[in-house]
Amino acid sequence: MYVRGLELVDFRSYQRVVVELGPGPCVLVGPNGVGKTNLVEAMAYVATLESHRVATDAPLVRFGTPRAVVRCAVVHDERELLIELSIEPGKANKARLGRSAVTRTRDILGALRLVLFAPEDLTLIRGDPSERRRYLDELLVARQPRFAGVRSDYDRVLKQRNALLRSAYLARKTGGTRGGDLSTLNVWDVHLAEHGARLVRARLDLVDALAPHVAKAYAAVSASRSDARIAYSSSYTQSENLEEALLAALAESRLQEIERGVTLVGPHRDELTLTLGAMPAKGYASHGESWSYALALRLAAYDLLRDDGVEPVLILDDVFAELDAGRRERLAELVGGASQVIVTCAVEDDVPSTLRGMRFEVGGGEVRRV
């Protein structure tokens, strides 16, 4: 699979730009701040319907314009498919596949498989658990797009349950004698356990499949003897019946939740633990080890998707400038055979020669092949 063409209209800094890409290495060169990351962010958005840089869609639309449009031509098994997205903040986004409108935007998920590594990925190691949960869920959806619906159902139930708990909490704080109406809380517990169990079961299976790839990728990138291990951490996953275990955990935490006005148990609170040797990676890994671990997580995702039978597009956004010479060469050796690897850089000499294929200069709102 590879991206053959990309067109952006009013996306980020671009009024309009068209880029014709090809298989193999593609290097986007230009000073910092000229829009290289905007290009790869647009491709990643087509693949995930999320930005790795911002939490909302508004910053994706060029200032003063009502919408942004991203068109991406993807080639797989010698067949080309055009994916089109219209991003309209405050409204429902619209999408087309092969020039036909789709009922739901998430129906385009799976049309482009893509793995992006960017400087922001250091938060996978150093950041909050939410970053690692997001990593798992994005990979889960990339492998099985139907889980986008499971995530959506869980988030909807969680929002309703939190609203109920919050109302009860505020009623108590303002002197209400009954502390708010919690008569429907048991119903929301059942829904949360149902959708949550499906999500957690899928995450557990994913971590089992991913773990050996992470260990292998870390060893290859870092040339270290320390083992990189991942594990799913939760208070209720020891039981074979996850739905019953989650219901029991909700019942046990009921009083605390009422006192705090928020749901304290469920997959939205779980953790992907990362260890390096005998120590947790967060707080103990050096800068170089953290970069290697973050790279290993992305490369493991790439290998897992490739094992599923569709080789994804691999993007390395401003990565090589942060790596020493040894890690640069080892990374280039690992990804050199990818069907398409897109590299962004400010200095072309930072990119190993084995990855210098098609070259594009980015600047002044334009992308020019050289």
Are residues 67 and 215 both part of a single domain? Answer: no
CA 326, CA 77: separation in Å to the nearest integer? 35
CA 160, CA 43: separation in Å to the nearest integer? 33
CATH code (residue 213):
1.20.1050.90
Task: Answer yes or no: is 89 a known binding residue.
Answer: no
The string of pLDDT tens digits covering residues 172-208 is: 777 665 556 777 899 999 999 999 999 999 999 999 9
- End-of-domain residue from the set 292, 309, 326: 309
Are residues 154 and 281 both part of a single domain? Answer: yes
Q: Domain tally for the chain?
A: 2
Angle at 275 between CA 246 and CA 263, to 5 degrees: 25
Do 5 and 72 form a contact (C-beta atoms < 8 A)?
A: yes
Angle at 344 between CA 340 and CA 349, to 5 degrees: 105
Are residues 279 and 150 both part of a single domain? Answer: yes
Task: Answer yes or no: is 110 a known binding residue.
Answer: no
- End-of-domain residue from the set 258, 286, 309: 309
CA 47 to chain centre: 9
Helix 185-222 and helix 325-335, axial crossing angle in degrees, nearest 10: 110
Task: Answer yes or no: is 282 a known binding residue.
Answer: no
Count the residues in the chain: 370
Task: Answer yes or no: is 34 a known binding residue.
Answer: yes
Are residues 4 and 70 both part of a single domain? Answer: yes
CATH code (residue 326):
3.40.50.300
Task: Answer yes or no: is 9 a known binding residue.
Answer: no
Q: Please compute Rg for the chain using Cα positions.
A: 22
Are residues 271 and 288 both part of a single domain? Answer: yes
Are residues 132 and 276 both part of a single domain? Answer: yes
Are residues 98 and 138 both part of a single domain? Answer: no
Helix 129-143 and helix 287-307, axial crossing angle in degrees, nearest 10: 20
The string of pLDDT tens digits covering residues 238-278 is: 878 999 999 999 999 999 998 999 999 999 999 999 999 98
- End-of-domain residue from the set 309, 335, 357: 309
Task: Answer yes or no: is 37 a known binding residue.
Answer: yes
Q: Give the residue with greater pLDDT, 28 vs 173.
A: 28
Domain that holds residue 352: 1-113+311-370
Are residues 295 and 330 both part of a single domain? Answer: no
Q: What is the percent of the chain with per-residue pLDDT over 90, rounded to a whole number?
A: 78
Are residues 141 and 125 both part of a single domain? Answer: yes
Smallest CA-to-CA distance from 327 within 282, 276, 288, 285 is with: 288
Per-residue confidence (pLDDT) for residue 238, from 0 to 100:
81
Side chain identity at 45, as an amino acid letter?
Y
Answer yes or no: is pLDDT of 344 > 90: yes
* Mean of per-residue pLDDT scores for the chain: 92
Are residues 140 and 178 both part of a single domain? Answer: yes
Three-state secondary structure call for residue 182: coil
Compute the Cα dihedral for 282, 287, 291, 296 and give only its sign: negative
Answer yes or no: is pLDDT of 49 > 90: yes
Strand segments, DSSP code E, in 49-185 are 68-76, 79-87, 94-97, 100-101, 114-117
Per-residue confidence (pLDDT) for residue 14, from 0 to 100:
95
Answer yes or no: is pLDDT of 5 > 90: yes
Q: What is the percent of the chain with per-residue pLDDT over 70, rounded to a whole number?
A: 98
The string of pLDDT tens digits covering residues 122-163 is: 999 999 999 999 999 999 999 999 999 999 999 999 999 999
Task: Answer yes or no: is 35 a known binding residue.
Answer: yes
In 92-184, which residue ranges form alpha helices assigned H by DSSP? 123-126, 129-143, 147-173
DSSP H/E element including 9? strand 2-11
Neighbours of 168 (CB within 10 A): 21
Side chain identity at 37, as an amino acid letter?
T
Mean local confidence (pLDDT), 338-342: 94
Are residues 146 and 169 both part of a single domain? Answer: yes
Do 102 and 91 form a contact (C-beta atoms < 8 A)?
A: no
- Which of the 8 DSSP states describes residue 311? P
Are residues 347 and 244 both part of a single domain? Answer: no
Q: Which of 169-173, 220-224, 295-299 has the lowest mean pLDDT?
A: 169-173
CA 81, CA 23: separation in Å to the nearest integer? 15
Task: Answer yes or no: is 70 a known binding residue.
Answer: no
Smallest CA-to-CA distance from 295 within 281, 283, 307, 309 is with: 281
Per-residue confidence (pLDDT) for residue 178, from 0 to 100:
56
Per-residue confidence (pLDDT) for residue 327, from 0 to 100:
86
